[in-house]
Amino acid sequence: MPTYQISVMLTKLQPLCIVVMLLLVVPGCTTPQKTDVTEENMTPEVELPDRLNLVASTAGRDIDRGEQLDIIADADGENTLILWVSTGCSGCHDWTEMIAGAMLDGNISNDTRIISVHRYPSFESRDEVIEVYASENSSTQSLWPVLIPGDGQPAIDMATGQDTDYDYTVAFANPATPSFTMIDGDGKTVWKNKTYWANQTLLSEAMELLES
């Protein structure tokens, strides 16, 4: 092959060689990087209170104990188990059905201090929450109070009695859905769990802690 033809070929191949070299040197620019982003990891760098309360609107049924519920006042010194829920969360439905079934079977008292708290008021409406968790026609009806806070609503710092500077989801460390947060009568978190699917062993453990 004549020398001038080889020179032309090399000139044409030069851009391709540069691209190949860049791909080899900086794979992170072309390969999606795995990121471990969870709801809890999204918590801003703020100092969260040790003891918290939440006063929020309820679904408005008799079982919700009023149009508004103050968790700590209602607990009267007892532990409270919070189930964090969203409307389209299959795991939330699963846990709700298991706990409700245990109540209907008499394995869990109807007086047991369990409260469902809606996690995403920014994009799930109050009516949607009621339809899923507070409707007699729903298989996922909660047989315990359902709290439906407003978007951006703060929690209450029990140490000061004042609202937090951030909303209740941040105050409770951005809980996953579904997940559980158990607080004592002073608002201190004593137990947490974010097992997605309902589990009888875990439920029994939670009930023991709740009544201790």
* CATH code of the domain in which 133 resides: 3.40.30.10
- Decide if 45 is inside a domain: no
Do 17 and 75 belong to one domain? no
Do 20 and 94 belong to one domain? no
- Decide if 42 is inside a domain: no
Q: What is the pLDDT of residue 212?
A: 84
CA distance 186 to 23: 57
Closest-CA residue to 148 (of 211, 63, 210, 60): 60
- Decide if 183 is inside a domain: yes
Specify whether the CB–CB gap between 119 and 85 falls below 8 A: yes
Taking only the tens place, the pLDDT of each residue in 128-170 is 999 999 999 999 999 999 999 999 999 999 999 999 999 999 9
Q: What is the pLDDT of residue 45?
A: 72
Do 25 and 85 belong to one domain? no
- Decide if 37 is inside a domain: no
Do 62 and 98 belong to one domain? yes
- Which long-range CB contacts under 8 A does 34-38 form with residues at least 24 apart? 38/176
Whether pLDDT at 37 is above 50 = no
Do 72 and 177 belong to one domain? yes
Q: CB count, 10 Å around CB of 97?
A: 15
Do 93 and 24 belong to one domain? no
Do 25 and 72 belong to one domain? no
Which residue segment(s) compose the domain that 179 sits in?
50-210
| Locus of tokens 């149009």 | 67
- Decide if 101 is inside a domain: yes
Do 118 and 167 belong to one domain? yes
**Residue 51 CB contacts under 8 Å (≥ 6 apart), including other chains:** 157, 158, 159, 186, 187, 188
**Residue 173 CB contacts under 8 Å (≥ 6 apart), including other chains:** 40, 43, 48
Taking only the tens place, the pLDDT of each residue in 75-104 is 999 999 999 999 999 999 999 999 999 999
Closest-CA residue to 85 (of 73, 76, 94, 98): 94
For residue 30 the two structure tokens come to 């072309």
Does the pTM surpass 0.85? The reply is no
Do 107 and 182 belong to one domain? yes
